[in-house]
Each structure stands twice: as structure tokens, then as C-alpha cells.
Structure 1
């Protein structure tokens, strides 16, 4: 998941601190695959909830 794109789309650069693999061309060890998958799931759920809250806030302000 490229959170730099999320930062650009949402206009919120707070997502940049969540980026886990800062060097995507340097492969991670296969031993860390489970950890990486777990982190991606957590980040995806967090992003989804963030977008839901932003939508709710936009609807309240109308």
C-alpha cells in the first residue's frame, strides 16, 4: 500500500509516518512476511475508518 498516494489524495501528510517499507526496491526477508501482512491489514482498516470519519464530518458540515 503506497500511503504517499493517500497523503496526496486526502491532503493530509500525517499518513507519511505510517509508511513501513521506505525502500521498496530493497526486499524484506521472507521471515517477516507474516508481520508485513499483519501491518498492511491494520493500516488498511485504519485508512478505511479514517475515510469513513472524513465522510461523516463532511456530511455533518453540510
Structure 2
């Protein structure tokens, strides 16, 4: 179970990075402000999901403490 949570957490963290880079490229390119706002909102949601998954993974694995 902890391995699955770890992979899901890493996937969501990767998605956060991708959305962040897309938002930066949109801003540098001078793209739509509406699109930048949507990307920022998506990034915030993905970050919240990532934090919850990180905390869940730490809880399931015991936070790295020896058994």
C-alpha cells in the first residue's frame, strides 16, 4: 500500500511541476490572463492534493521511524 501511495504522490507532484512550467511559459509568452488564472487554480488544487498524499504516505509508512 505504501509503495502505491508513494508512486501516486510522485505522479501528482510531477503534475504540479508541469502545470507550473506551463503557467510560466504562458506568462512569458504573453498569453491570456484567463488561462494563467486557470493554471494557477489548477496548481493550487494539485498542491493541496499532493500535500494530503504526502501526509497520508507518511502516516501509513510510520514517517520513516524504525518499526
TM tier, shorter chain? 0.5 to 0.7
User: For residues 17 and 27 of structure 1, do their structure 2 counterparts lie closer, same or farther at Cα, with a shift above 3 Å needed?
Assistant: closer
- The alignment yields a C-alpha RMSD, in angstroms, of 2.6
Structure 1 segments (4+ residues) deviating >3 Å? 13-18
Question: Which structure has more helix as a fraction of its residues?
Answer: 2
Q: Does 1:17 align with 2:12?
A: no
Structure ranking higher on relative contact order (CA contacts 8 Å, 6+ apart): 2
The count of residues paired between Structure 1 and Structure 2 equals: 48
2:45 match: 45
**5+ residue gaps, structure 2:** 1-12, 63-67
**5+ residue gaps, structure 1:** 1-12
For residues 18 and 42 of structure 2, the distance between their equivalents in structure 1, rounded to whole angstroms, comes to 14
Is the radius of gyration larger for structure 1 or structure 2?
A: 2
